[in-house]
């Protein structure tokens, strides 16, 4: 008998959420990748869609990606955000490992009893973070691209933070993070190519070409951190005891 295929689904809230090195390492670890895009390019300006959800309980791992929306904006995206909160609670309580990235980490904080709110300032670019478990989440630098922040869910284990906000936590078999381990130059260029993408970055005082140059120079070591993070997640977090909410 052949080895059973392991399946991971990436929940992508927009059409430019490629997984970069995270995709690559899941594939190396023998996972078949499925993608579920909630807001496609056609609906980008009217994102309050009502998607037909796949059976998340049929997957071995669920990865919740970033988004250009707020994880608390029920009025703007509630048609899919509120069902997603409920579905992800069910996934978590079933013991299916979850990796939440940026919006995904914020959404999982909300699911697990934490809060999400507007941050005092945006965080765009490459930043080192303070880690209490560098074997799981090293200091980086990691790529940041957010205007919101989450709180550590009650009962979670703090993994990393910086002076602005929490950066990573573990709760049972869920790993939530604020930074983007999936970023590489290709993914960054997809984000910048979105309507208003360059202007959005430049409005925060970031020089786009400097950002691209820094991303290119850090790509090899950042990719390796992404590979290692997937390994640590699968080997440690995904096998931890189930902690329900």
* 15 annotated active-site: no
Please tell me the predicted confidence (pLDDT) of residue 138. Answer: 98
H helix or E strand, kind and range, residue 81: helix 74-93
2 pLDDT above the threshold of 60? no
Residue 182 catalytic?
Answer: yes
Strand order in the sheet with 166-171: 31-37, 6-12, 61-64, 98-101, 174-177, 166-171, 157-161, 130-131
- pLDDT tens column, 4-42: 789 999 999 999 999 999 999 999 999 999 999 999 999
pLDDT for the residue 239: 98
- Give the pLDDT of residue 41: 95
Q: Rounded to 10 degrees, what is the CA torsion of 156, 145, 103, 12?
A: -130
- Is-contact 130 138, C-beta < 8 A? no
Query: Which residue out of 12, 13, 92, 102 is catalytically annotated?
Result: 102
How high is the pLDDT of residue 195? 84
129-154 confidence digits (pLDDT tens): 999 999 999 999 999 999 999 999 99
Which top CATH class is 6-237? Answer: alpha beta
CA dist 205 and 62 (Å) reads 35
Contact present, 36 and 80 (Cβ < 8 Å): no
Residues 159-214: tens digit of each pLDDT: 999 999 999 999 999 999 999 999 999 999 999 998 899 999 999 999 999 999 99
Cα angle 214, 104, 216 (rounded to 5 degrees) comes to: 10
Please give the Cα distance from 131 to 144 (Å, whole number): 15
Of the listed ranges 120-134, 192-206, 217-231, the least confidently predicted one is: 192-206
- Domain map of the chain by residue range? 6-237
Is the pLDDT at 99 greater than 60, yes or no? yes
Please give the Cα distance from 140 to 11 (Å, whole number).
Answer: 25
- pLDDT at 4 (0 to 100): 79
Catalytic one of 12, 123, 182, 200: 182
Q: Indicate if 180 belongs to the active site.
A: yes
């Amino acid at each position: 008998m052949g080895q059973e295929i392991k399946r991971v689904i990436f929940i992508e809230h927009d059409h430019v959420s490629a997984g970069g090195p995270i995709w690559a390492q899941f594939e190396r670890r023998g996972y078949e990748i499925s993608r579920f895009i909630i807001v496609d390019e056609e609906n980008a300006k009217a994102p309050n869609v009502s998607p037909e959800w796949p059976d998340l309980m049929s997957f071995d791992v669920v990865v919740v990606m970033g988004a250009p929306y707020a994880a608390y904006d029920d009025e703007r995206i509630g048609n899919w955000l509120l069902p997603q909160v409920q579905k992800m609670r069910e996934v978590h309580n079933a013991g299916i490992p979850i990796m939440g990235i940026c919006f995904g980490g914020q959404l999982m904080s909300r699911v697990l009893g934490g809060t999400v709110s507007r941050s005092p300032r945006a965080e765009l670019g490459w930043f080192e973070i303070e880690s209490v478990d560098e074997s799981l989440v090293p200091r980086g630098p990691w790529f940041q691209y957010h205007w919101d922040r989450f709180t550590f869910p009650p009962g979670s284990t703090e993994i990393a933070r910086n002076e602005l906000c929490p950066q990573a936590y573990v709760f049972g078999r869920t790993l939530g993070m604020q930074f983007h381990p999936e970023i590489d130059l290709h993914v960054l260029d997809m984000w910048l190519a979105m309507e208003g993408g360059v202007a959005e970055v430049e409005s925060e005082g970031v020089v786009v070409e400097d950002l691209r140059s820094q991303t290119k120079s850090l790509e090899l070591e950042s990719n390796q951190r992404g590979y290692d993070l997937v390994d640590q997640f699968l080997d440690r977090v995904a096998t931890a005891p189930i902690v329900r909410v």
